[in-house]
């Protein structure tokens, strides 16, 4: 699952949070992350897991000005969802 984010000093904290939550999180370019649960899950379940983790992180970091957007793989849907706290 790809995540796009805006400017901000909180990206390293987000990556660390996702890794502690048993996800693989790697930077992709300047404003992107590739995130996947370590457990093998069906695509929709993986998306829900990551979305839930991002919502928790955004609640824990209300001062973060990251506009976090999930970008779904083309094989699922052609939409993207913005996650606002």
Q: What is the pLDDT of residue 77?
A: 40
Please write the tens of the pLDDT for every residue from 54-76: 989 888 888 774 567 777 654 44
Please write the tens of the pLDDT for every residue from 37-50: 999 999 899 999 99
Question: Is the Cβ–Cβ distance between 37 and 22 less than 8 Å?
Answer: yes
More reliable by pLDDT, 22 or 4: 22
Q: Which band of pLDDT confidence, cut at 50, 70 and 90, is reported for residue 9?
A: confident
pTM for this entry: 0.76
CA-nearest of 3, 13, 19 to 60 is 13
Question: Is the Cβ–Cβ distance between 54 and 68 less than 8 Å?
Answer: yes
């Amino acid at each position: 699952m790809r995540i796009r984010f805006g400017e901000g000093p909180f990206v390293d904290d987000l990556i660390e949070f996702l890794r502690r939550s048993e996800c693989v999180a790697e930077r992709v370019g300047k404003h992107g992350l590739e995130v996947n649960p370590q457990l093998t899950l069906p695509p929709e379940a993986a998306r829900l897991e990551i979305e839930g983790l991002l919502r928790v992180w955004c609640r824990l970091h209300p001062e973060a000005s990251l506009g976090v957007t999930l970008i779904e793989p083309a094989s699922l849907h052609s939409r993207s969802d913005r996650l606002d706290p």
